[in-house]
Amino acid sequence: MRLKKYTDYALRVLIFTASKRDGELANKKEISEVFHISENHLGKIIHELNKLELIETLRGRSGGIRLAKEPADINIGSVVRAMEDDFHLLECFDCATNYCVITPACKLKGVLHEALRAFLTVLDKYTLEDLLTNKQELRALMGLK
């Protein structure tokens, strides 16, 4: 199972934003510099996270982003589901593009579907707060003072 970079970057934005000190805003430029992600790509991710009401964006010269919820209220499994547009692990997971001749008798789809459910079940056990138990170490690695 491989998540898209879009999802990876969205999780990084949440971790970065949650790692800021209380009242301190994150901004696209600093996230871009820390993770070496283009600001344009980050803009799309930030827009999506804002639409999902996970972050708030504040415009203007002293604007930036902050979490819209407490880290304990942001479920990692939910974030991954929202950011991924599909979980088609194999061709046969998508009826519209499935041309595999063994689909009617194949057991692999069922096995991988079970594995996907297990993967998401594990992610559902964690919140953003769980990813911040080493907040000081994360802050140091991201260059936050």
Predicted local distance difference test score (pLDDT) of residue 117: 95
In terms of residue numbers, what domain contains 23? 5-85+127-141
Predicted local distance difference test score (pLDDT) of residue 22: 86
What CATH number does the domain containing 67 carry?
1.10.10.10
Q: Per residue in 43-100, pLDDT tens?
A: 999 999 999 999 999 998 889 999 999 999 999 999 999 999 888 888 888 888 888 8
Helix (H, G, I), strand (E, B) or coil at 135: helix
Please give the average per-residue pLDDT across 102-107, as a whole number: 89
Nearest to 123 by CA among 66, 90, 91, 84: 84
Quote the percentage of the chain above a pLDDT of 70.
Answer: 100
Please give the average per-residue pLDDT across 9-21, as a whole number: 97
Domains in the chain, number: 1
